Structure 1
């Protein structure tokens, strides 16, 4: 609903307007009734408003002064309707020149008010649609540039609407989830978090909100937000680039109440080369599991290597990659020992370690892609590297790399066996027979000796949804069957299909079926419940 405030110093007029029509039926919510322009101005500064219906002549600040101030200071795009007596019509005419959408003569007639509300509703809808189209087009132009597709018309359009001076960076923003386990994957939840992040980013950026967008093709794992930063933002805010990014991080964290991670890509000269910055963020993402957790990762701190002293232990890394490919577990350990010994002997610095690690990860993803080019190999690499980290082990240490290499070798071996179809059929059968039990991908992974993250990927590929959502759908469908053909209480049915928390069961039922279990039973059942066999 559109939010409207009524501003008039004569209380009986304001209250009369509030009672004159059914505002909700007209698509509006009366958010506040205020007594003068100053009070309304303070309200508009703090809270969103779609429409302001204000008297002209009021103490402290007139309706016209309110309109002028809001427009001059760009406080709100809210529409304004002026309440005017015949003697004040000249004020109303002046208000129209300041972008007031209409005026109402006192005393206000019900039909006149409804007519103006209907008119503004249409204006608002059209305006929002135009804004959405514009934002969508700008996002498409930016996405094309991220993937290196240069369109001169799109670039010209972006330069007309956004300032990309003082350098450009691609920044990926994501919420840190409590678990890297596919068992905790609830796509609906992740999408809600993503929408929350986007809305908060857009609110912080204001007129520059088209710089941020969410697109699943950019981040299938963390459901992140793409943010195309330029130095113009920091310049306009009167601060340094680092300070702007840190302030943005803090504001977003306060707004969303999520723990966040920023991956800040390489700085490039112009928006036309932003794909270079995007590529460096992809590299940053691969290395995150080998680093101590941070709030903000900068390309310059994590990945850049001065070329004059870059040291790549290529021969030793190739030997390690061969051991991983052949799944020779003992040899993997010795090759890692040789790698760390060589790096120590050659005086490899931290950023040189990044170079060597990048080479290793790139080659491993290439091997996996040759075995299965449909699976998201970046996602698998990130999952395995995160899973191989345990408490008491330093990220990026010899022991961490050893665990990662062994688990990745097992993963490659699994890809070569190509036994996924039979396993999925067995899992589907177990869901049908044991849906009420505590079934998890991790448990199935251990049972069938398959990496649970890879199992989650091939499950999603076959069934078009995550394992958790598939199991939830099966349970809710079974609950529907019991609602129709038994007289069990809803709490008992929830427990029978695998939900110990009845409230959670109700939420999931409403989410999938669009109504409560009681309403479903009542609407679908034609015979009395006593005629159905109970258990």
Structure 2
């Protein structure tokens, strides 16, 4: 817990010691960092320590309490809050003290509860002020970085910022990117990490691991956090940038549970040149997939390495689509594994990976559309459309792409079933219309360009009966209808009417299904 710095000033030693023992300073948010028994020593102490709170007596030798306050405030030596303690219940002292902006006026003997309450209120006020100051510093830091990157910063503003950042001539500056990956918009709300939370954690861990005494300048880019890092903050790491990056990555991983990638630009010697470090840090991002294990890319370590911008081989892509359409699950998986292995081992740039994934995506969608399917029905389709706008590790991209492939294959299988179902329905309708003609499984298969064996199997699978059984039932049903409606038609005429060329065969088949002859069926009705 951060404790505000306080100093005690009183010419009586037992008063100071008694006050230190009387109050639980840490519980109130303060720690005593110095003491003085006269105003002159107190003035030097304030200059050196720059405390947040000064608790002082009124009457002291050399310089009294009110004069001390006047000097500190008028000469802008420091900006502490003052609490006056006095044994003199004098309204004039209080009036003068308040003119100098004194926080409170306490009369001896001190009431422990009342004084602790005063300190607690002041602690809350100081904490809010510091948070507000830190927010303003961060905003100003972000604006400063933006103006430097755009080349719009004036020499005067650069000089002011160098002073504010405590930069020395020997210091170097790095521009870094911190990138949170696999933070999908389609995740559950409790798993998703906001940009503001990520930025807050980056700032928090930077301060913790470098022991920085003030917020480090950050700038929000579109989907990354930019960091302005002076080399003196690398002191806890013996000045080694890579050790620092490893520590920062590990610290962020603990909080986030997701992969954070860090990219470091080349060092520059002055703030006005930070744009060059920024540009090299952006180039380092292109080596992201190659360095997926470490999740750290340092510009100086990759300058001699080349990236590839290779498109998928058209023959290989066509073969993949054939595998998709034939539902060769293992072959498809092997092809995807090979592609993603090549993306990494052959040093593909992120743009090349995006281009190849997009090319494959469009080929799959073409197949689905050609089968009269709708890609919007695929749950992973919108994710595949939007993945380029978020930061994904190569491993997570492979998961997303594989999920899309699997769902697309399922869709193709369903579409094929629908097509088969639609085709067999057309054949069934044709049979129902033309059953009285001289038709057979072979003639229908030829008419619809289907293998007769396959057609027979598909008909049985779809309707639960064989083709010949279905055709016979249609003919017998029509024959029964004619027998019911016409007493003048002869049996052989009915047989011919419903598609039988031989009346004896008709009678045999009718009896087989109805367990009576056509004549018996007619007589039964009469």
Normalising by structure 1, what TM-score? Answer: 0.46
TM-score norm. by structure 2 comes to 0.46
